[in-house]
Structure 1
Amino acid sequence: MEKRTINPPFFCVNPKAYLYGEEALKLAKTADALAEKYSIDIFFTVQYADAFRIAQETKHLIITVQHMDNLNVGPGMGYILPEGLVAAGVQATFLNHAEHPVGVNDLVKIMKRAEELGILVIACADSIAEAQAIATLAPDVMVCEPTELIGTGKTSDASYMKQTNEAVKSVSPNTLVLQAAGISSAQDVRLAIESGADGTGGTSGIVCAVDPEQTLMEMVETVAAVHSEQREQRK
């Protein structure tokens, strides 16, 4: 399987363990409609048990899991087989999130398996130094979130965003940068994209909102609006 090409600015909906089953599918269908309407690439993270169903019932999303393992077909009880993910319709995986860290040796091995199977890697870092270090492995996407801001509703400041964007690009120019710490409003989305990030997204800012679907809609609309503004400025 060839890796899907990602066109910035993109968006990531990351329900973590907040949503599963019918609720996850409902939000995924809303995201799918928005991806089609605005021609925006949207990563949608799923519970493993929901991957196949959501992949089957959506057309435009990049179905994403929250982790995978360095496992080959054969023995390996209790681990996540990459080939099984591909068969279920998964196209991307997060790695090294602060809530599921991975050692460097394992990260290298897992990324190699992802490359073999055409799975996009979204690698996470919680500091500029770590972002630069992981960027040497040339992941497809880097998430640059200070751990202390995850789930707080507080975003990284513009200076941190710009520094991490530049730090990653200086090491791996083709790696896309996702700024998603504390994103909880359309204004946060605008700040992230205008900082120079290739994409943004959210978790609790979306799934814990009074109206998750409306919040998601406003965020994706903002990505589209900023993209349009940037195109006009380049003319």
Structure 2
Amino acid sequence: MSALSLRAPFFVVNPKSYLYGDALLSLAKKADELAHSYDLDILFTAQLIDLPSIVARFPHLIACAQMMESLQPGRGMGHVLPEALAAAGVGATFLNHAENPLTVHELAATVARARELDIRSVVCADSVEEGTWIAHLHPDIMVCELTSLIGTGTTADEAYMRESTQAVKAISPQTQVLQAAGISTPDDVYRAIACGADGTGGTSGIVAADNPHQVLEDMIAALVRARADFY
């Protein structure tokens, strides 16, 4: 496995643009406590301006940017410099999310830049076919999620989760696979790991809940049960 591999099963808390500032840090504090208590890896995404606070305050989380670019130091006003993320202690970055897709050229270049700086690349794919192509870039983590299910509370069926995971592993065995679209309950978390995923995570299922802290705790408990059953 790669030196940047996470301990499976792992979890991703991805507040997108729902949370920022104090509200985001409150959820990060809960995630940090859970990561420490259960001895597991949790990626926590945040707005760029909040990432240094995540790094400074929560040592048990892996701070994750929501995007990055292949920019080199120098000119590039308004873009996200990989070296700046690395210097801030950011350990991972999402790439090619359905809400921020990249061209083929930029995706390949940015995965390479992340590798140069020991930043984990977490690359999204919308289908088995797209995931198969992206696997040739050997990202650290592949997110196999159908765009049509993002934010719906409906997860992919077991056949898709197994097929997409196996397709990635056949080309890039060291790439870890995250199944996450529509994850909204502890049962969803458990099922994703049962279907062979290395990790899972959530956004609206957590942040839009009446009690996000409790939902996150329940999801992590389900992940721990899956770890005991399948690892």
| Aligned: 1:125 with 2:91 | no
* Deviation at residue 229 of structure 1 after TM alignment: 1.9
Partner AA of 1:149 in structure 2: L
Instruction: Identify the residue that residue 48 of structure 2 maps to in structure 1.
Output: 48
The list of structure 1 runs, each at least 4 consecutive aligned residues, that deviate by more than 4 angstroms after superposition, is none
Q: Secondary structure at the match of 2:169?
A: helix
Q: Secondary structure at the match of 1:142?
A: strand
Instruction: Identify the residue that residue 150 of structure 1 maps to in structure 2.
Output: 150
Q: Secondary structure at the match of 2:17?
A: coil
Partner AA of 1:150 in structure 2: I
5+ long unaligned stretches in structure 2 = none
Partner AA of 2:134 in structure 1: I
Aligned alpha-carbon RMSD (Å):
1.1
* 1:1-235 alignment, distance < 5 Å: 4-231=4-231
What TM-score results when the alignment is normalised by the length of structure 2? 0.97
Q: Secondary structure at the match of 2:32?
A: helix
> Does the CA-based 8 Å contact 1:11-1:200 persist in structure 2?
yes
> Does the CA-based 8 Å contact 1:3-1:119 persist in structure 2?
no
What CA distance in whole angstroms lies between the structure 2 residues aligned with 1:112 and 1:186? 35
Spell out, residue by residue over 1:180-217, the C-alpha distance to the aligned partner (whole angstroms, 9 max, x if none).
01000000001100000000000000000110000000
Q: Secondary structure at the match of 1:93?
A: strand
What CA distance in whole angstroms lies between the structure 2 residues aligned with 1:20 and 1:193? 29
What is the aligned length? 230
Q: Secondary structure at the match of 1:30?
A: helix
What CA distance in whole angstroms lies between the structure 1 residues aligned with 2:227 and 2:35? 14
5+ long unaligned stretches in structure 1 = none
> Does the CA-based 8 Å contact 1:3-1:120 persist in structure 2?
no
What CA distance in whole angstroms lies between the structure 2 residues aligned with 1:119 and 1:205? 27
> Does the CA-based 8 Å contact 2:15-2:207 persist in structure 1?
yes
* Percent identity for Structure 1 against Structure 2: 52
* Deviation at residue 3 of structure 1 after TM alignment: 5.6
What CA distance in whole angstroms lies between the structure 2 residues aligned with 1:4 and 1:150? 26
What TM-score results when the alignment is normalised by the length of structure 1? 0.96
Q: Secondary structure at the match of 2:71?
A: coil
What CA distance in whole angstroms lies between the structure 2 residues aligned with 1:195 and 1:26? 31
Partner AA of 1:153 in structure 2: G
Q: Secondary structure at the match of 2:64?
A: strand
